[in-house]
Amino acid sequence: MVEKVEKKKSNHAKKGQSLVELALTLLIILTLLAGVVDLGMAFFSYVSLRDAAQEGALYGSIKPIVDSDNDGRYDVGEPLNASEIVNRVRQSSSTPVNLNDLSNVTVNVAISDPPCESGWIKVTAIYNYRISMPFLGAILGSTTIPLSASATDTILQPACP
């Protein structure tokens, strides 16, 4: 009879040990899972940013300048169409990145000189992704991940002089 009581105490202690191991392991696994989900959302935001930059580069390759005289040729002194290109980038998406948020999203446009056929246009969009996992920010040393996407395209029109 004494042996049965000792065996029950021994089994009870093993169950307590395995419960503690499960709690510690589960904490680590759930933290890793939440971090993977957060980094997946950051990647999804990067893809959206890249697509917006490609949209702006495509628009800029067709209309890099404001053709004031509508002759279809580049004339020296015609202004660049940078503001319209930036507007095109900002209007291309609102989720998961709100591109209209001027405080979090920066859009830069660089165009070859002269900005005419066979030149290039480069559109860069920069966004600071805010990490939602509190522990992940402590591990990485920052609560944001800088995301930058660029797209370069060949200018298709207007014709060079």
| DSSP track, 11-66 | HHHHHHHHHHHHHHHHHHHHHHHHHHHHHHHHHHHHHHHHHHHHHHHHHHHH--B-
Instruction: Report which listed range, 13-27, 100-114, 136-150, is most confident.
Output: 100-114
Residue 1 has pLDDT above 80, yes or no: no
The yes-or-no verdict on residue 110 having pLDDT over 90 is yes
Q: What average pLDDT does the structure give for the chain?
A: 87
Alpha helices in 63-153 (DSSP H): 82-91, 134-140
- Band the pLDDT of 24: cuts 50, 70, 90: very high
pLDDT band at 74 (very low <50, low <70, confident <90, very high): confident
pLDDT bucket at 41, cuts 50 / 70 / 90:
very high
